[in-house]
Amino acid sequence: MLYLVLKSLHIVAVIAWMAGMLYLPRLFVYHCDAEPGSKQSETFKVMERRLMRAIINPAMSLAWVLGLSMAWLNDYWMQGWFIAKLVLVLALSGVHGLFSRWRRDFEADRNMRPARFYRIWNEVPTLIMIGIVFIVVMKPF
């Protein structure tokens, strides 16, 4: 029963994390079009900061804690599918770190990247998520 509760909470945390990871770079795309210091730019800064601090960071932390708890309960550590999933989750966490740094750049009006850059990066979490889902569901190794 504990495992099923952890699994359910893990899924909820992952959904929240992914929702934020898909929305934040979209905000960056729109933020690129706002004049630094404008009311619109300042609004994007607030939206981005709140999204990161209230949703993305806590959801990622919960996803990690709950996922590692399930791995510990079921001794997944040496299973090939789990190792592959862990590598992809580390990659997603790295993307999270990049998004966090870029958010701070926007906060300080230091963004030098065009909207197209963020449009491309908007797809990266989706690709990683697809890989994770297929590995977890199919357990190919």
The pLDDT of residue 22 is 98
3-state SS track over 12-47: HHHHHHHHHHHHHHHHHHHHHCCCCCCHHHHHHHHH
- How far apart CA 26 and CA 122 sit, in angstroms, is 7
C-alpha closest to that of 106 among 40, 56, 58, 17: 40
| Residues 88/136, Cβ–Cβ less than 8 Å | no
Q: Summarize pLDDT for 72-122 with one digit per residue, the tens.
A: 999 999 999 999 999 999 999 999 999 999 999 999 999 999 999 999 999
Domain residue ranges in the chain: 2-138
**Residues in the annotated binding site for heme:** 10, 85
pLDDT given at position 23: 98
Q: What is the pTM of this model?
A: 0.94
* Binding-site annotation: residue ranges: 10, 85
